[in-house]
Amino acid sequence: MMKFLAFTDIHEDKKALQDLMARAKQPDIDFLVCCGDISNFKRGLPVVLKEFNSLGKKIYVVHGNHEEPEDGFARTVAEYNNWINLHMNVAKVGHYYLLGYGGGGFARHDPRFRKIAREWYGKYKEQKTIFIHHMPPFGAKLDKLEQGYVGNKDYTSFIKRMKPKLAISGHLHETFNLMDQIDGTKIINPGFKGMVVELK
Tell which phi-psi region holds residue 36, choosing left (phi > 0), alpha (psi between -120 and 50) or beta: left
Q: How many residues does the chain have?
A: 200
Contact 118, 169 (CB under 8 A): no
Secondary structure of the chain in the HEC alphabet? CEEEEEECCCCCCHHHHHHHHHHHCCCCCCEEEECCCCCECCECHHHHHHHHHCCCCCEEECCCHHHCCHHHHHHHHCCCCCEEECECCEEEECCEEEEEECCCCCCCCCHHHHHHHHHHHHHHCCCEEEEEECCCECCCHHHEECCEECCEHHHHHHHHHHCCCEEECCCCHHHCCCEEEECCEEEECCCCCCEEEEEC
Q: How far is CA 156 from the centre of its chain?
A: 15
Q: What CATH number is given to the structural domain containing 31?
A: 3.60.21.10
Q: With pLDDT > 90 as the criterion, what percentage of the chain qualifies?
A: 92
Which residue range is the domain that position 188 belongs to?
A: 2-199
Write down the pLDDT at residue 193.
98
pLDDT digits (tens, 9 = 90+) for 35-45: 999 998 888 99
The number of distinct structural domains making up the chain is: 1
User: How many other C-beta atoms can be found within 10 angstroms of the C-beta atom of residue 159?
Assistant: 24
- Long-range contacts, stretch 21-30, CB < 8 angstroms, 24+ apart: 21/51, 21/52, 21/55, 23/194, 23/196, 24/52, 24/55, 24/57, 25/55, 28/3, 29/3, 29/4, 29/5, 29/57, 29/196, 30/2, 30/3, 30/4, 30/57
pLDDT category of residue 68 using cuts at 50, 70 and 90:
confident
Mean pLDDT throughout 110-115?
97
pTM: 0.97
Q: How confident is the model at residue 121 (pLDDT cuts 50, 70, 90)?
A: very high
